[in-house]
């Protein structure tokens, strides 16, 4: 077999066999197929697509390019969730403890923020001492002992995806739906997931800006799960406006803590209950979403989800005083409240603009490895559809660099759009794909 023949086949819109895909993935993982050939192949895939079977073969080849965690015997079923990324998306911080408190263990390997979209690891690391670098052995030990673990990717998980992603990033081939789907699913499978709830975001603050693209991605990921003997369900959720109110690491953690105490924003609470219910169904804990929701709400109401979260923090070395007294979390030096200078209905709060403003304040990174500031970010105070009066608090900026306040304010004002006539609130969900 020759790499060039595989590139030509994809260039000519033919379907690759599993053997060809395995050969190609193994070749580039070992460094035997050079980057220029991998880049040419990625562009052919980007332009000509892949079938569900090809994408599944690619996913499995990438998953098995390194170690694949086997969690059989550790948990009855390894349930995981994945969000395609958004602004204010602190769902994992609430859903994991809720689901664990319902008796379904969850071990999750999360990521860091990149660009306008935040990452769970950055948020949880607002807690002094919290370790996100657990070894594989620690991951398994924590999952077995506490039923809950939240860490970064351990060791050598799906190395082919890492290599391919780096090339896609510089060759204009990131937005290929088969390449995105296989990238996400290869990491989930390598982390041992047997049942996965996919939270596919759609809108201005999401990877997928149109419902059509989001649906295609969701359908393909669900198909990959089915064809590879795993279970998956995908929820299409809105990301036109931020989820909840807080955007920025410690600010979001605080909002997650409030939610665990039953005082979270309504949209975020609803979102968490929906995702938790799907996890409980797919994990076989309950028969249907109604039962899942009852169980999840009870775990929150009775404080068991909060206790699970506290246990998680303690078990991973975090300073538990910071979650018991969230005022001890990192705080910005400059907190500027901005009030509405007009009245009307809010017709848009552009999530991408809010996310990018938060990154500019220091909450995120523009390239991998950049340091971040846990304290800074933005809190919006309304949602699309709200009627806001002149003089009402519109948003609050948390900054450590005073010189950034003016620009952040301008950008956030421009991110809010107004209407003189009433506006429907945005839906939280656009559908479920099973
Ligand atoms: N997230 C991933 O893990 N991979 C992609 O290709 C895109 C988003």
pLDDT digits 0-9 by tens, 125-155:
999 999 999 999 999 999 999 999 999 987 6
Which conformational region is residue 79 in: left (phi greater than 0), alpha (psi within -120 to 50 degrees), or beta? beta
Residue 54 located in a structural domain: no
Residues 198 and 345 reside in one and the same domain? no
Select from 309, 324, 339 the last residue of a domain.
324
Residue 178 lies in a domain: yes
CATH number reported for the structural domain that contains residue 209 in this entry: 3.40.1030.10
314 shares a domain with 371: no
CB 76 within 8 A of CB 192: no
CA separation for the pair 295, 316 (Å, rounded): 26
Along the 434 residues of the chain, how does pLDDT read in single tens digits? 999 999 999 999 999 999 999 999 999 999 999 999 999 999 999 999 999 999 999 999 999 999 999 999 999 999 999 999 999 999 999 999 999 999 999 999 998 887 888 899 999 999 999 999 999 999 999 999 999 999 998 767 899 998 998 899 889 998 899 999 999 999 999 999 999 999 999 999 998 999 999 999 999 999 999 999 999 999 999 999 999 999 999 999 999 999 999 999 999 999 999 999 999 999 999 999 999 999 999 999 999 999 999 999 999 999 999 999 999 999 999 999 999 999 999 999 999 999 999 999 999 987 777 889 999 999 999 999 999 999 999 999 999 999 999 999 999 999 999 999 999 999 999 999 99
Structural domain boundaries, residue 14: 3-49
CB atoms within 10 A of CB 36: 10
DSSP string, 204-231: TTSSB-SHHHHHHHHHHHHHHHHHTT-E
* 309 inside domain: yes
Answer for the pair 191, 157: CB distance below 8 angstroms, yes or no. yes
What residues does ligand 1 touch, defined as CB less than 6 Å away?
165, 179-180, 183-184
Query: Given this model, what pLDDT does residue 114 score?
Result: 75
Residues 319 and 192 in one domain: yes
Which among 259, 290, 324 is the end of a domain? 324
Are 204 and 339 found together in one domain? no
Q: Which atom of ligand 1 is nearest to the CA of 184?
A: 3
Report the nearest-CA residue for atom 2 of ligand 1.
184
Domain match, 113 and 157 both: yes
Tokens representing 392 are 């009402």
Say if 152 falls within a structural domain. Answer: yes
Residues 297 and 352 in one domain: no
In a domain, 282, yes or no: yes
Mutate which of 55, 157, 174, 181 to test ligand 1's pocket (most atoms within 8 Å of Cβ)? Answer: 174
Rounded alpha-carbon distances, angstroms, from residue 295 to 94, 281, 298:
14, 11, 5
The alpha carbon of 183 and the centre of ligand 1 are apart by a number of angstroms equal to 5
Are 244 and 315 in the same domain?
Answer: yes
What 3-state class would DSSP assign to 397?
strand
- CATH number for the domain spanning 371: value is 3.90.1170.30
Residue 61, domain member (yes or no): no
Cβ-contact 430, 235 below 8 angstroms: no
State the pLDDT at residue 369.
77
**Residue 431: inside a domain:** no
Contacts of 179 (CB under 8 A, 6+ apart): 42, 45, 46, 164, 168, 173
SS3 content of the chain, % helix, strand, coil (to 5): 45, 15, 35
- Which ligand 1 atom is at minimum distance from the Cα of 179? 6
DSSP per-residue letters across 267-306: HHHHHHHHHHHHHHHHTTSSSSHHHHHHHHHHHHHTTHHH
What is the tally of structural domains in the chain?
Answer: 3
Check whether residue 391 and residue 249 sit in a common domain: no
* Torsion from C-alpha of 124, 126, 127, 133, nearest 10 degrees: 50
What is the DSSP track for 90-147?
A: -HHHHHHHHHHHTT--EEEE----BTTB--HHHHHTTSTT------HHHHHHHHHHHS
- Cα of 106 vs centre of ligand 1, distance in Å, is 22
State how beta strands 393-399 and 344-349 pair.
unpaired
Residue 63 covered by a domain: no
Are 257 and 360 members of one domain?
no
Q: Which residues are catalytic?
A: 82, 161, 168, 183, 187
Residues 191 and 240 grouped into a single domain: yes
Q: Any idea what the CATH number is for the domain that residue 22 is in?
A: 1.20.970.10
Neighbours of 331 (CB within 10 A): 15
Quote the CA–CA distance of 80 and 224 in Å, as a whole number: 15
* Domain match, 93 and 45 both: no
- What pLDDT is stored for residue 155 in this prediction? 67
In the reported structure, the alpha carbon of residue 199 is separated from the centroid of ligand 1 by a whole-number distance in angstroms of 13
User: What's the whole-model pTM score?
Assistant: 0.96
Q: How far is the CA of 180 from the centre of ligand 1 (A)?
A: 5
CB atoms within 10 A of CB 169: 12
Supply the DSSP string of 324-362, one letter for each residue: HSGGGS---SEEEEEE-SS-EEEEEE-HHHHHHHHHHHT
Integer Cα distance of 11 and 8 in angstroms: 5
> Is residue 292 located within the same domain as residue 158?
yes
Closest of 388, 384, 372, 390 to residue 424, by C-alpha: 384
Q: Write the residue with the smallest CA distance to atom 3 of ligand 1.
A: 184
How far lies 56's CA from each of 8, 163, 217, 229, 414, in Å? Answer: 20, 18, 13, 11, 42
């Amino acid at each position: 077999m020759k790499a060039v023949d595989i590139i030509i086949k994809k260039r000519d819109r033919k379907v690759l066999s599993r053997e060809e895909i395995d050969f190609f993935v193994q070749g580039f993982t070992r460094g035997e197929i050079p980057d220029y050939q991998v880049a040419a192949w990625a562009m052919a895939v980007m332009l000509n697509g892949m079938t569900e079977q090809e994408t599944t073969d690619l996913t499995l080849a990438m998953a098995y390019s390194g170690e694949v965690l086997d969690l059989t015997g550790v948990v009855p079923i390894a349930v995981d969730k994945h969000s395609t990324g958004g602004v204010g998306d602190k769902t994992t911080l609430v859903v994991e403890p809720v689901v664990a408190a319902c008796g379904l263990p969850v071990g999750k390997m999360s990521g860091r923020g990149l660009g306008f979209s935040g990452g769970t690891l950055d948020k949880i690391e607002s807690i002094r001492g919290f370790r996100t670098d657990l070894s594989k052995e620690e991951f398994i030990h924590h999952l077995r002992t506490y039923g809950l673990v939240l860490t970064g990717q351990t060791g050598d998980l799906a190395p082919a995806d890492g290599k391919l992603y780096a090339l896609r990033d510089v060759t204009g081939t990131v937005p290929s739906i088969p390449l995105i789907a296989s990238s996400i699913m290869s990491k989930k499978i390598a982390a041992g997931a047997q049942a996965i709830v996919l939270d596919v975001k759609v809108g201005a603050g999401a990877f997928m800006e149109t419902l059509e693209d989001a649906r295609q991605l969701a359908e393909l990921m669900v198909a990959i799960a089915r064809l590879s003997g795993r279970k998956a369900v995908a929820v299409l959720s809105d990301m036109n406006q931020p989820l909840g109110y807080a955007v920025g690491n410690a600010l979001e953690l605080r909002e997650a803590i409030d939610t665990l105490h039953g005082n979270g924003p309504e949209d975020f609470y609803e979102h968490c209950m929906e995702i938790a219910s799907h996890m409980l169904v797919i994990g076989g804990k309950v028969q249907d979403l109604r039962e899942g929701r009852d169980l999840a709400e009870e775990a929150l109401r009775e404080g068991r989800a909060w206790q699970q979260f506290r246990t998680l923090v303690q078990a991973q070395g975090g300073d538990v005083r910071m979650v018991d007294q969230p005022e001890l979390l990192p705080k910005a030096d400059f907190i500027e409240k901005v009030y509405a200078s007009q009245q009307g209905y809010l017709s848009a709060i552009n999530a991408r603009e809010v996310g990018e403003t938060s990154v500019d304040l220091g909450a995120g990174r523009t390239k991998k490895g950049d340091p971040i500031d846990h304290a800074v970010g933005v809190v919006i105070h309304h949602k699309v559809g709200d009627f806001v009066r002149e003089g009402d608090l519109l948003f609050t900026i948390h900054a450590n660099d005073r010189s950034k306040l003016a620009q952040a304010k301008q950008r956030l004002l421009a991110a809010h759009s107004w209407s003189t006539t009433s506006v429907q609130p945005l839906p939280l969900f656009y559908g479920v794909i099973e």
